Structure 1
């Protein structure tokens, strides 16, 4: 039997780790560390640093190479499903035979725009495994905290979507507040900017955090320039933004 703990570790700040998350890491026999290549090596290093701070002894850390999506599969959902299947097989190989308590540190929270739970279901389908989820601080929380803003207006809903959907479908009709994640860059250019205020963050919660806020027509070009420069400097970028219409 594998006991798999999906541990939300927040957005990169070691103090985001909850007591429950620290206990799960200490109880594990194996802590899996995904490696995404040299250009994102600092993400793996952050996980190692967090684990080292909690565990002291890092001998239980077990890195594994994270597969990439197959660009030859044209359908987006089929491409993602194939990717998840291959990641589950890599997990299985990294864990090895026999029973074990396994922890996987998940950026942010496992419930929000993260595939770890779906991959865990695939692993459980081929091995006897139980799964528990340890919630973590999300990038949405880190964004709102850094800008000192509430997520929603009084008595009103908000909507969380992706850059791809914002670009393809425009502003969602069901909310005046929209949080955009997984944007490849500048999806807000697809909407009418008048009357929209944006709060943008890159590397939310990390030491490298960058914040820009203001009326969208006034700050959109600065966000795009800052984003491009930060990506060139680090080799990767994770950003998120909240937009509100007057």
Structure 2
């Protein structure tokens, strides 16, 4: 029996214009899309995925769109690093179990697709879960890249993230302050820090000691409701905190990302 074909498709940060020609071709090969349903207001994210499929899949190619209730992950902010890592592993295992049950019941020749917000390589669990599925079901996996949130952020602000010949450091809000202070104590530079998964805006903790750091922030980047703010961290962080809270109340969910540049390097990333 041939292995189950699985496509992991990066669809960009929400705009249909982010879907590449390669991704559009891959979408048209899929028979069954499996999409995590987080419930509540986040149904909008499922709706965007449906709209992208409807736009790029030819009318003569029938496909099924299956939403899978996403297992509860737990209060990440209240966990230490070990508890956080274990919580993620448990969450991945529960997701894998749910997907395997569905895939086992599909026709043997059905191509399965996973739609990944942004790019599958950056802070997304889909490839790891598909690998876990492959330990239980013979699969042939193809990964198609997408436009990431931080690429969209940089384009929206009209900036270059990196310094000439130097790195960009991509991290999470959970790790931001520790990595910043450790590098500073060691006399090292991380360059511009791109921060993802920061629901608590940990950059606030740096505003008092690094007021001249430059922040470029965006919420819903690539979507019609996109919001952007930028400036000296100390001057704009309170506005960003208030705006983020308001957007969450209005929409029921918020996805944001930001770039943080040490003060000495501001001129190198500004327009």
TM-score range (shorter-chain normalised) is over 0.9
2:10 corresponds to: 8
| Residues 1-246 of structure 1 mapped to structure 2, 5 A cutoff | 1-55=3-57, 57=59, 59-70=63-74, 75-95=83-103, 96-99=105-108, 100-171=110-181, 173=183, 174-191=189-206, 192-245=209-262, 246=264
Distance in 1 of aligned mates of 2:225 and 2:172: 23
Q: Any gaps of 5 or more consecutive residues in structure 1? A: none
The answer to whether the 8 Å contact 2:215/2:232 transfers is yes
| Separation in 2, partners of 1:93, 1:214 | 49
What is the distance in 2 between the residues matched to 1:171 and 1:98?
A: 53
Shift in Å at residue 30 of structure 1?
Answer: 0.9
Distance in 2 between the 1:199 and 1:90 partners?
38
The structure 1 segments of at least 4 consecutive aligned residues displaced by more than 6 Å after TM superposition are none
Which has the higher Rg, Structure 1 or Structure 2?
2
Inter-partner Cα distance in structure 2 for 1:169 and 1:16: 31
Unmatched segments (≥5 aa) in structure 2: 184-188, 265-271
- The 8 Å contact of residues 33 and 48 in structure 1, kept in 2 or not, is answered as no
- The 1:71/1:194 distance shift into structure 2, 3 A limit, reads closer
The alignment's TM-score, normalised by the length of structure 1, stands at 0.94
Task: Summarize deviations over 1:145-202 as a string: whole Å, max 9, x none.
Answer: 0000001011221100100011444446241311100001220012223320000000
RMSD: 1.8
